[in-house]
A = this chain, B = another copy of it.
Amino acid sequence: MELLKERILKDGIVKEGNVLKVDSFLNHRMDINLFQEIGKEFKKRFEGEEINKILTVEASGIGIACVVAQYFNVPVVFAKKNSTKNIAGDVYRAKVESFTHGRVYDVIVAKEYLKPEDKVLVIDDFLANGCALLGLAEIIENSGATLVGAGIVIEKGFQSGGKLIRDKGIRLESLAIVDDMSDGNIKFR
């Protein structure tokens, strides 16, 4: 997606430790007009697929997922990172290791919001080691629902997540794949 790549080149900042800082438009300050263009692009890429639900994970996936969902006219379910008073009872659970936060946590989805008849599109802002996406795929599988595919805004092509996911036969659409930024310059696939 050219508009996105241009934006990453313009406003993305490469930080130590292979961190790509895009929080001026993607995951702290959020450019809603860009999210709308992202929504149109995912709609185009998954055209013809039967999708009745979008699944994402808190926190930074939620905004993108909600704007994208409008183009599919479906509800969004977001996996929660912590059990709260409001989620008691039956949940699907998976372990996820966060690249950004450097820790392992559980993500949970209430069973009532994922059913065997659901055709699910996963939306997230980043794909790095693939753990978040694999966790969501595991939850979808446990629910009996169908994982139609995953729409990722930025894939770090130099980390293992993309290959892992594609090797499992999951359809993965990444709008920008960064293959290298080791010298501080961003190179797309």
Contacts and interface: CB of A to CB of B under 8 A. Distances in A.
A87 interface: yes
Interface of A is mostly: mixed
Interface in A72-122: 73-78, 80-82, 84-87, 100-102, 109-110, 112-113
Contacts of A27: 86
Counting every copy of the chain, the complex holds 2
Given A29-B76, A63-B63, A75-B30, A17 B87 contact: no
A27 B80 CA distance: 10
Band of interface residues on A: 35 or more
A9 interface: no
B80 A101 contact: no
Interface of A: 15, 17, 19, 21, 23-25, 27-33, 35-36, 58-59, 62-67, 69-70, 73-78, 80-82, 84-87, 100-102, 109-110, 112-113
